[in-house]
């Protein structure tokens, strides 16, 4: 019996070490690929004049769709930021998804909205629409008021009303930089036949100063949870997504800022209302569709169009958000399980889906198992020294090294943190997140499987503070 336990223990130890070694090596390779991608992108845009799109006789107009649920704190800043975007032809469609706060009232007041008797084609099924409003002062703005049906349903309502061949999904608590559309649309101009989607980078606005719908001063927040998340976002977008994009394995274009071909999204049935992570679900369905039609396609991640968004600053709200993301990931991977290791779906089936299944979906359980095992060894006084050294090296040391590389990628890409103090804080966050924060999130993500199996499908409200104004202390 003791021998059996020892064999099991050794087996688990090897499994955990292999897991950490592989995941960190993959992320390290993604970082290397990202580095190459970012340097290439920087060279490619050296002489690009993004404003030349204004002179192009045929430019693809974009419908910016903004689903909003209880966003009264920041909706006006967000809409102002969207209306001030530099792009030749676009419309902004805000879908008020049955907010119970004053979202609609604030919009009506700020933009002089008036009821419109617009007749639209209901190509995608949605919950009933209560009214459509047009602004008397901003001809590009349309506001749709509908019964609450979650984000996917609101996006579908926006798609039904949108007029243009490309649509851009933007979260209502986000701010796009002025040139973001000009930059993110480039793949659609350069390779319009094949490009089906493109996404930019999401950055956290916590600690930044916002003035007239634009981030005017980038800073680091005082809250450590937000600081850890800044690093996480840099790691995920500049390291992970850029690397995955270089490998033609993009499965996620963030719902906070992504641009897609409308005809294709419609052909795939729009957003799936039952999905928790509707952005990932749509991207995978679009890829599946293209593979099944045997049409070449590409989805591109671009490192410099920036979308600023607010991150939760307390653990409870963060836990709800991460639990939802992980449940969404599990739901999507289970739903598209037939694509796993299926050569019919190319790189998406043979690499991207298995990667997400093994390292992103199952990862937290193995991590938690590793911490439990290590903790139990410490408690029982049976620390296996070679295991402890290797575990520390591959899990903590290697992991932190990969995290710190993300700061370097930021420095090489958009260089948004000009003060050395900010870099120092981010570096410190890279080390400090190993104490409690990472373990906490692993436990939350592992627990979300139980929530998923119990059929929990709720979003969980996120308290919004609104963006810090110029002159206010972030």
Partner 1 sequence: MLSTIVLYSFAYLLLLSGLLFLFILARRLLVESRERKDLRLYKEMERELLEVWTSPSPSRAALEFARRHRSRPRVLKLLLVAYREALVGQALEPLKVIFERTIRGRCLRELRSPFLATRLQNVRLFVDFSRPEEAAHLVKLLNDKPVVRLAALNALTGIASQDTLAVIFDGYERDPEPNFYAYSNVFNSLGQRIEPFLRTSMRKPLSPDKHALLIEMAGRLLLRGLYPDIVRFSLSPVKEMRIRAARTLGRLLVPASRRTLIALAADPEWEVQAQAIRSLGNLQDWRAIPILVKALFSPNWHVRYNAGYGLAAYGLVGVLQLQEVSRQKEDRFAADMATMVLDTVVLTGGAA
Contact set for partner 1, span 243-282 (CB under 8 A): none
For 88-118, give the DSSP string. Answer: SSEEEEEEEES-SSSHHHHHHHHHTEEEE--
Kindly state whether residue 117 participates in binding partner 1, applying the rule CB under 8 A: yes
Contact set for partner 1, span 186-215 (CB under 8 A): 189-194
Kindly state whether residue 50 participates in binding partner 1, applying the rule CB under 8 A: no
Instruction: Report the residue number, 392 or 436, with the smaller CB distance to partner 1.
Output: 392
Rounded Cα distance between 451 and 127, Å, is 27
Number of residues that bind partner 1 (CB under 8 A): 46
Instruction: Report the residue number, 4 or 58, with the smaller CB distance to partner 1.
Output: 58
In whole angstroms, the minimum distance from the beta carbon of 395 to partner 1 comes to 11
Pattern 118-157, partner 1, x by CB under 8 A: xx-x------------x-x--x------------------
Phi and psi at residue 240, in whole multiples of 5°?
-65, -60
Q: Which two tokens stand for residue 440?
A: 């906490």
Antiparallel, parallel or unpaired: β 209-211 and 214-217: antiparallel
Kindly state whether residue 379 participates in binding partner 1, applying the rule CB under 8 A: no
Kindly state whether residue 439 participates in binding partner 1, applying the rule CB under 8 A: no
Q: Which of 26, 325, 351, 401 binds partner 1 (CB under 8 A)?
A: 401
In sequence order, what are the beta bridge partners of 168?
A: 64, 259
Of 256, 253, 257, 303, whose CA–CA distance to 415 is shortest?
303
Instruction: Report the residue number, 44 or 105, with the smaller CB distance to partner 1.
Output: 44
Instruction: Report the residue number, 314 or 376, with the smaller CB distance to partner 1.
Output: 376
Q: Which of 22, 26, 365, 397 binds partner 1 (CB under 8 A)?
A: 397
Antiparallel, parallel or unpaired: β 298-309 and 90-97: unpaired
Rounded Cα distance between 435 and 219, Å, is 24
Kindly state whether residue 461 participates in binding partner 1, applying the rule CB under 8 A: no
Instruction: Report the residue number, 267 or 431, with the smaller CB distance to partner 1.
Output: 431
Instruction: Choose the stretch contacting partner 1; rule: CB under 8 A; options: 79-87, 184-192, 239-247, 301-309.
Output: 184-192
Q: Which of 223, 321, 342, 427 binds partner 1 (CB under 8 A)?
A: 427
Rounded Cα distance between 208 and 62, Å, is 28
Rounded Cα distance between 341 and 348, Å, is 9
Question: In the Cβ-directed half-sphere of 358, how many Cα atoms lie within 13 Å?
Answer: 16
Q: Which of 128, 343, 420, 455 binds partner 1 (CB under 8 A)?
A: 420
Q: Which two tokens stand for residue 451?
A: 């929530």
Rounded Cα distance between 265 and 196, Å, is 9
Instruction: By CB under 8 A, name the binding residues for partner 1.
Output: 40, 43-44, 46-49, 56-58, 116-119, 121, 134, 136, 139, 189-194, 378, 383, 385, 388-389, 392-393, 396-397, 400-401, 404, 407-408, 411, 420, 423-424, 427-428, 430-431
């Amino acid at each position: 019996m003791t021998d059996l336990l020892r064999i099991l223990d050794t087996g688990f130890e090897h499994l955990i070490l292999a897991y950490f070694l592989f995941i960190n090596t993959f992320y390290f390779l993604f970082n290397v690929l990202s580095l190459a991608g970012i340097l290439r992108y920087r060279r490619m845009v050296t002489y690009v004049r993004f404003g030349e799109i204004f002179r192009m006789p045929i430019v693809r107009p974009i419908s910016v769709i903004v689903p909003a649920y209880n966003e009264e704190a920041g909706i006006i800043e967000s809409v102002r930021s969207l209306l001030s975007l530099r792009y030749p032809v676009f419309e902004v469609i805000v879908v008020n998804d049955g907010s119970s706060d004053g979202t609609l009232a604030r919009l009506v007041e700020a933009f002089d909205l008036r009821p419109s008797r617009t007749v639209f084609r209901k190509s995608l099924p949605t919950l009933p629409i209560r009214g459509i409003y047009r602004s008397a002062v901003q001809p590009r703005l349309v506001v749709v008021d509908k019964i609450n049906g979650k984000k996917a349903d609101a996006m579908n309502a926006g798609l039904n009303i949108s007029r243009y061949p490309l649509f851009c999904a933007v979260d209502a608590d986000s701010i796009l930089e002025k040139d973001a559309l000009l930059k993110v649309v480039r793949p659609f101009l350069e390779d319009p036949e094949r490009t089906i989607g493109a996404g930019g980078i999401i950055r956290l606005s916590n600690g930044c100063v916002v003035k007239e719908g634009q981030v005017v001063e980038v800073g680091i927040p005082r809250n450590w949870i937000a600081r850890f998340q800044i690093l996480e976002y840099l790691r995920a977008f500049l390291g992970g997504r850029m690397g995955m994009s270089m490998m033609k394995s993009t499965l996620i274009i963030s719902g906070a800022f992504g641009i897609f071909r409308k005809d294709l999204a419609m052909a795939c049935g729009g957003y799936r209302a039952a999905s928790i992570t509707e952005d990932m679900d749509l991207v995978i369905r679009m890829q599946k569709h293209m593979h099944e039609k045997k049409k070449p396609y590409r989805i591109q991640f671009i490192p410099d169009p920036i979308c600023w968004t607010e991150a939760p600053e307390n653990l409870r709200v963060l836990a709800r958000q991460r639990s939802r993301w992980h449940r969404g990931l599990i739901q999507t991977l289970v739903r598209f399980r037939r694509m796993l290791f299926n050569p019919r779906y190319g790189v998406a089936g043979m690499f991207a889906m298995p990667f997400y299944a093994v390292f992103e979906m199952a990862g937290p359980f193995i991590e938690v198992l590793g911490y439990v095992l290590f903790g139990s060894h410490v408690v029982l006084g049976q620390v296996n020294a070679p295991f402890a050294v290797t575990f520390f090296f591959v899990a903590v040391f290697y992991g932190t090294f990969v995290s710190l590389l993300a700061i370097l990628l930021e420095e090489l890409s958009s260089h948004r943190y000009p003060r050395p103090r900010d870099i120092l804080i981010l570096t410190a966050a890279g080390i400090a997140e190993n104490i409690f924060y990472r373990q906490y999130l692993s436990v939350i993500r592992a627990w979300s499987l139980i929530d998923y199996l119990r059929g929990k499908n709720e979003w969980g409200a996120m308290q919004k503070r609104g963006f810090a104004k110029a002159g206010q202390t972030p």
